[in-house]
A and B are shown apart, each in its own frame.
Chain A
Amino acid sequence: MSTVITGLGVMAPNGLSSEDYWSATLNGDSGIAPIDRFDTSGYPVSLAGQVTGFEPEELVPDRLMPQTDRMTRMALAAADAALADAGAGPGTLPEYDMGVATASTSGGLEFGQRELQKLWGKGWQHVSAYMSFAWYYAVNTGQISIKHGMRGPGGVVISEQAGGLDALAFARRQIRKGTPLMVTGGVDGSLCPYGLAIQIASGRLSTQDHPDLAYLPFDHRANGYLPGEGGAILVAEERESAQRRGAPAAGELAGYGAAFDPSPGSRGALVRAARAALADAGLAADGIDAVVADAAGQQDDDQAEADALSELFGPAGVPVCVPKTMTGRLLSGGAALDTATALLALRDQVLPPAINIHAELTDPRLDLVIGEPRETPVRAVLVLARGHGGFASAAVLTRP
């Protein structure tokens, strides 16, 4: 039994649809800009990958507006796009044969912050009844499930940036257990004062205020990462079920592995996760045509990922893509977007470039795709993701 991806919905700082994202990414167009939602003058971080031009009033039913955080609105729009792409929706299959599994990092923090401000500023009577779910981790799964009448298995996975891949694995487990269609992936974002405060506290954000110098993964000048918002929602289906209803596949989720690095200072989870994903896919390292890197943007973490890649593939043994240089790190949406990138690369046989990093300043053990897209045969892509606290996950996407 295999799991294929039949639908893609993207919401990214550099594109509001999968095609817009893909053409911007191949073109090297960045979505990194000064944060314009609130005054950041008191914060050490001023740049982010903001989704601009998103008009929730046009894309989200008015009934859902009072009860949704911005990241949920983006997730609903991405889910609509993914289901339209897959030609699926209510009635495609019996309602208990369709489920939802998304990733989350901290729920709808902007909504939560606003209601807490009302609580302390105006009084408890002013707190929205929708606070009961709008800022919870599982809210995107719930809202997508209700909107599309998908009453099969529902779940949320919380493992920070690794979550985007872990949700796919959760969806694949449900498919293997008999649910033929799962909506999965992750759309995330907390670009509000409280959300920024939480991310700053990790000590891993870049405080650079020049967009071209702030997030430079694998570059000797790396000084942290930039936060972003967005991600991707994918429709995952059991292959034969998708074939029966005539839904073409964009690719197969052929392998997955997860590992953990307990603190303090343990290493090696990324290699273990990648090896598990390769074994699961039945591929050797030389069967992988490209890697979409986690790209922490920290000297030590970049070094660890470069170590892992050279251990797996040998020196400069595989092209490494870092489209995150154009979006920042999107919390649980990041690896979901990287998975969408992998599927688009498989479709078009081209690898997207990284921007802002310079080849002569990067780790010589890596064959980074920089500056220009690279046309090359792409049959299998390895996506890597690490989540704060020791999570490491890997997924292998192959041509359908």
Chain B
Amino acid sequence: MSEFTMDDLRTVMQEAAGENRHLQGDVLDEQFTELGYDSLALLEAAARVERSFGVKIGDDDIADVGTPRDFIQLVNDRLAQAPA
């Protein structure tokens, strides 16, 4: 499975939160809460990633995600663990 990128996160967030304009520019290390995305938006985004990328992301894992970098790292960790 290919890598999960910032562009993928933007695509997912467009569907999960209705817009991704706060994910433009250099925001990898900004807190999602500062960017205006709440915990439900992240849960919804994670559910969409699970379905599109065939990985399992627990609600507890998402609770630990603070920044886009955390989110991307979490998905890529799961992709690496997933059977090829």
Contact = CB atoms under 8 A, between A and B. Distances in A.
A66 B36 contact: no
A69 B80 CA distance: 38
Nearest to B15: A66
B19 A62 contact: yes
B40 A132 contact: yes
A128 interface: yes
B17 A66 contact: yes
Contact of A63 (B36, B43, B47, B51): B36
23 contacts: A61-B18, A62-B19, A63-B17, A63-B18, A63-B36, A64-B18, A66-B15, A66-B16, A66-B17, A66-B18, A66-B44, A67-B18, A67-B40, A125-B47, A125-B50, A125-B51, A126-B47, A126-B51, A128-B44, A129-B43, A129-B44, A129-B47, A132-B40
A67 to B, nearest CB: 7
Interface string A60-103: 01111111000000000000000000000000000000000000
Contacts of B50: 125
Interface residues of B, number: 12
Contacts, number: 30
A2 B39 CA distance: 41
Given A66-B17, A132-B40, 20 more contacts: A61-B18, A62-B18, A63-B17, A63-B19, A63-B36, A64-B18, A65-B18, A66-B16, A66-B18, A67-B18, A125-B47, A125-B51, A126-B47, A126-B51, A128-B44, A128-B47, A129-B43, A129-B47, A130-B40, A130-B44
Contacts of B43: 129
Nearest to B59: A129
Contacts of A130: 40, 44
A62 B43 CA distance: 18
A67 B44 CA distance: 10
Interface in B38-52: 40, 43-44, 47, 50-51
Nearest to B44: A129
Interface of A is mostly: helix
Interface of B is mostly: helix
Contacts of B16: 66
A132 B36 CA distance: 19
Nearest to A126: B51
B32 to A, nearest CB: 13
Nearest to A128: B44
A67 B43 CA distance: 13
Interface string A104-141: 00000000000000000000011011101000000000
A128 B43 CA distance: 9
Contacts of A126: 47, 51
A322 B74 CA distance: 60
A132 B43 CA distance: 11
A62 B15 CA distance: 10
A163 B15 CA distance: 34
Contacts of B40: 67, 129-130, 132
Interface string A24-68: 000000000000000000000000000000000000011111110
A125 B46 CA distance: 10
Contacts of A61: 18
Interface string B28-42: 000000001000100
B3 to A, nearest CB: 22
Nearest to A60: B18
A202 B44 CA distance: 36
Contacts of A125: 47, 50-51
A65 B50 CA distance: 22
Nearest to B22: A63
A62 B16 CA distance: 11
B2 to A, nearest CB: 21
